Structure 1
Amino acid sequence: MMIIDEPFAAPELIEYLACTQEPVLLNSMAERILKRHSIKALGDEEFAARVNAGGRLICTSENAFSWIAQHIEDEAVTEAIATFKDKARMRKLLAPMYPSLEYREIPTAQLKEVCFEDFSTPFVLKPNVGYCSVGVYVVESRQQWDAALADIDENMAVWRSRYAKSALDEGSFVAESYLEGTEFAVDAFLDNNGEAVVLDVLRHEFANAADTSDRCYVTGASVVREYAPAFASWLTEVNGLVGVKDFPVHVEARMSNGVITPIEFNPLRFAGICGTEVAYHAYGFHTYDYFLHDIRPNWNELLKGKEGKLYCMGYLPAPEKLAAGECGFDYDGFLSHFEGLQAFYRFDPRQTGALGFIFLETKENDETERAFLREADLTQFCVGI
């Protein structure tokens, strides 16, 4: 069972749904797809009945959470969403694993009343219920704190217009310790026994220490072999405190000296919008198919022929003038920098604030294209200014 929702459904996903006839919810996104593709779409009542009867469910977007809250009676699903989505609640739940981790939940209306000197720097400020890297700030100084508060004031209305409240709720923020180490994103599910099955591991690469963008995630044989077992063991331990079963989750965490510390848990979905398709481009399988049918990856087979390669996924923010409709963008010029381009899905910058999603195959021993993806000033491709 799948809910496909705004803002985007990847061609690979649509092809999968047409070939397998996996049931989807008949919403506005499904209706648009039905005009060109034969997929199996069920109305609210039948779809909800199947989920409430124990059918596995996954979403492509957290915009679906509002529908779930209104139609799904299975408390195992709704309570798992509420728990994983609430960062402060998860910090409290996992306190036995991380007794020294500092965090504080602050109502948005009280942010300007908070005494900056009460915090140990550096720290991270982010929405308690958030999506992607929207509203995330690394704060090392009073100047950066003031800049973060000003940015929140300036962009709050834009966030509200782009994201459902169930995906991004700006009612409160969390200030917590800045986590050292390498950042990872993991697509996984908890099986019928509550044990974790890892479907992909992505190393999140940044342009610099202040970068919080989603421009470059990297997976490959070396990444999966080194880190998948550790994340499976860790997530199983986490679930010993949470207690969910038959449930997909996209986890962001940092690892330092072998110790994994969570950043956030994103329930009932994998890498956002269409990011999870990196597993298909890299290894040839659909993560959502493996979850829905309880399939464990045979990494020994899947990683054959993948040595020496790294596969990248990036969500590219639109330059401000492009998002405001004040210029165009030289897409061909930008994409010409990548020899191993696998796919680029173009979004409407004015509606989404993004250029789109990019998928690349790169050589592990050549950093050039990955560095460009992380660090390039995208305004150089703006045209018609």
Structure 2
Amino acid sequence: MILLDKPYVSEFLRNTLIEQQIPVIDTFDNTFSIPRDGLNLVSEKDAVEMFKSDPSQLLLTNSENSISWTERNLPFTDLPKKINQFKNKVAFRSLISDIYPNFYFKAVKYQDLDKVDINTLPLPFIVKPAVGFFSIGVYKVDSTEEWPGILEEIKNEIENTSELFPKEVLDISEFTIEEYIDGEEYAIDCYFNSDGKPVILNILKHLFASGKDVSDRVYITSKEILQSTLKPVEDFLASVGALTDLRNFPIHVEIRIDKSGKLHAIEFNPMRFGGWCTTADMAYHSFGFNSYMHYLNQEEPNWKVILDNFSDSVYSIIVLDNNSGISDEKIKSFDYQALLNDFSKPIELRKIDYKQYPLFGFLFAETNRSDISELENILQSDLTKYITT
């Protein structure tokens, strides 16, 4: 069963739902809807009854916007509790504190951020909303001198974005301050099966433009990335899952691996894969399997066979966030064709209404691993070359 909501449902996901006749909970209204033709719609009342008859019913969402539906309609299951354990970063840090007993973090009310004595904090550190999405309000602080300016940037960003997502997705009432973890960052789609075993569906390396960068511009996956990370990531996920007996639970995970090889948890995002139908769809583009169906059918990818037959290409998700410094009101157009011309093998372009959300879209691409300059260029770009004002 699947629960759909804003901001985006991909054609790949919609076609999967139609072809496989996956039950879709009918929550469509005047604020969100997709074409209903061919969908196997189930009323909200019937969906709740199905969960009452079988509390272990598999549920997947495309968006954390739907968390509130789960809280309202499925309080008799353990889903709301487990969702909160992971979605709320303060609760999550408390959950894994035995694994990372020396990790520094603290919760601070938004209105109290400017009262924080930065001299008592370990530099560098990360400040971000306790319940957040899409790197909104996330900043790295390297020095005491930066703090006042970053506070001002947080306030400005929150003013411009806090109304884009429901409180369950972006709640700016509380922030966390966490010590900075140095290392390579990875994003993982996975699920815990009925036996509590973690099943990995994708691992992508998150590229950054600089040590200060916290944006989501480029994620890549390749044979080399999977081969080097599959086993340690699976062991790490098992250790976290054991803390709260996770079963029948899809999740999108962000970690860092330091120079010594130790894995550090960044975030666990419950009940979904990567936002905007990105990472799950990329698994199909790159590896040829359907992550949505693997979870709903409780299937595991045969990674040995997949990687033995995998090309030497690098597959990427490029997030075209508006980092131009130009407000959407002043932008007349974005040259998507010029963007496509800058890539040797674009796979799929998804245009997003940049007047509604702070990004121009997503690009899926395949790149020869011997020359990834096109990825390096877009990673450093402020996108102004594509913008007409």
TM range (shorter): over 0.9
Q: 2:96 aligns with which of 91, 94, 97?
A: 94
In the aligned structure 2, how far is the partner of 1:262 from the partner of 1:349? 31
Query: Match for residue 38 of structure 2?
Result: 38
In the aligned structure 1, how far is the partner of 2:371 from the partner of 2:331? 36
- Report the AA paired with residue 78 of structure 2: A
Task: Tell me the SS of whatever aligns to 1:350.
Answer: coil
- Report the AA paired with residue 368 of structure 1: S
In the aligned structure 2, how far is the partner of 1:196 from the partner of 1:74? 25
Q: 2:293 aligns with which of 289, 295, 300?
A: 289
CA deviations over 1:138-178 (Å, ceiling 9, x no partner): 00022322122112221223322101100111111111110
TM-score under structure 2 length normalisation: 0.95
TM-fit CA distance, 1:372: 1.8
TM-fit CA distance, 1:325: 4.5
Structure 1 position 263 matched with structure 2 position 243: no
Contact 1:131 1:167 in 2 (8 A): yes
Query: Match for residue 320 of structure 2?
Result: 316
Q: Percent identity?
A: 30
- Report the AA paired with residue 103 of structure 2: L
Structure 2 unpaired stretches of 5+: none
Contact 2:136 2:157 in 1 (8 A): no
Contact 1:4 1:29 in 2 (8 A): no
Bigger mean CA deviation after superposition, 311-320 or 127-136:
311-320
In the aligned structure 2, how far is the partner of 1:24 from the partner of 1:144? 47
- Report the AA paired with residue 339 of structure 1: S
In the aligned structure 2, how far is the partner of 1:334 from the partner of 1:237? 42
- Report the AA paired with residue 269 of structure 1: R
Query: Match for residue 273 of structure 1?
Result: 276
Structure 1 position 133 matched with structure 2 position 135: yes
Structure 1 runs, 4 residues or longer, greater than 4 Å off: none
TM-fit CA distance, 1:377: 2.3
- Output aligned runs, 1:1-385, within 5 Å: 1-28=1-28, 32-35=33-36, 37-52=37-52, 53=54, 54-256=56-258, 257-276=260-279, 277-318=281-322, 319-321=324-326, 323-383=328-388, 385=389
In the aligned structure 1, how far is the partner of 2:321 from the partner of 2:88? 25
- Report the AA paired with residue 46 of structure 1: D
CA deviations over 1:292-329 (Å, ceiling 9, x no partner): 11001011222344231111012211234352353321
CA deviations over 1:170-210 (Å, ceiling 9, x no partner): 11111111001100001111111212111110100111111
In the aligned structure 2, how far is the partner of 1:130 from the partner of 1:308? 35
CA RMSD, Structure 1 to Structure 2 (Å): 1.6
CA deviations over 1:54-104 (Å, ceiling 9, x no partner): 210011110001111111134321111010111111212211111111111
Contact 1:6 1:29 in 2 (8 A): no
- Report the AA paired with residue 364 of structure 1: R
In the aligned structure 1, how far is the partner of 2:134 from the partner of 2:41? 28
In the aligned structure 2, how far is the partner of 1:29 from the partner of 1:305? 44
Task: Tell me the SS of whatever aligns to 1:147.
Answer: helix
CA deviations over 1:220-271 (Å, ceiling 9, x no partner): 1111111111111111011111222110110101001210000111000011
Inter-CA distance 29–340: structure 2 relative to 1 (3 Å threshold): farther
In the aligned structure 1, how far is the partner of 2:290 from the partner of 2:57? 19
TM-score under structure 1 length normalisation: 0.96
Contact 1:51 1:57 in 2 (8 A): no
Structure 1 unpaired stretches of 5+: none
In the aligned structure 2, how far is the partner of 1:374 from the partner of 1:50? 46
Task: Tell me the SS of whatever aligns to 1:161.
Answer: coil
- Report the AA paired with residue 136 of structure 1: V
CA deviations over 1:33-58 (Å, ceiling 9, x no partner): 335x4111111111222234221001
- Report the AA paired with residue 365 of structure 2: L
In the aligned structure 2, how far is the partner of 1:3 from the partner of 1:301? 32
Number of residue pairs matched? Answer: 383
- Report the AA paired with residue 353 of structure 1: P
